Amino acid sequence: MPVLTCDPRGSGDVLARAECFAAPAVGELGNYVWPNIEGPAYFNHDFSVFKNMPFGGNRKFQFRLSAYNVFNHPQRTPDDVTNLNLTYTNGQQTNAAFGVLPDNNKYGHRILQLAFKFYF
């Protein structure tokens, strides 16, 4: 466990500030009290429309269009191996990517679904 030397909460693209972590002295453990570190906000909007068309009697035909993540807003997430791994060499933290949200690790994409139903 590392030693916390300041409040490591970052802002913007930085989840945690690397300069707030230090290696503990030989034979000792670091602090166990970690603050809440929040990730980026989650944006996801779904949209659905449908049209019912009578088909004689009490039968009807329905057309439905559903869009999941309709605005196609990708979610950035840290990579556990690269961005959340403290690496120390001779007591110095050497992982320059620690705590930074990468631009190339995104998930979430737009999904469109068409459905046709016949009620009878």
Q: How far apart are CA 45 and CA 53, in angstroms?
A: 27
The string of pLDDT tens digits covering residues 67-100 is: 999 998 888 887 777 887 888 888 778 888 888 8
Q: With cut-offs at 50, 70 and 90, classify the pLDDT of residue 62.
A: very high
**Taking 70 as the threshold, does the pLDDT of residue 4 lie above it?**
yes
Q: What pLDDT is stored for residue 99 in this prediction?
A: 83
Q: What pLDDT is stored for residue 32 in this prediction?
A: 64
Q: What's the whole-number mean pLDDT along residues 16-28?
A: 82
Least reliable range by pLDDT among 4-8, 52-56, 59-63:
4-8
In order, the DSSP letters of 75-107 are: EE---HHHHS---EETTEE--TTTTBPPSS-EE
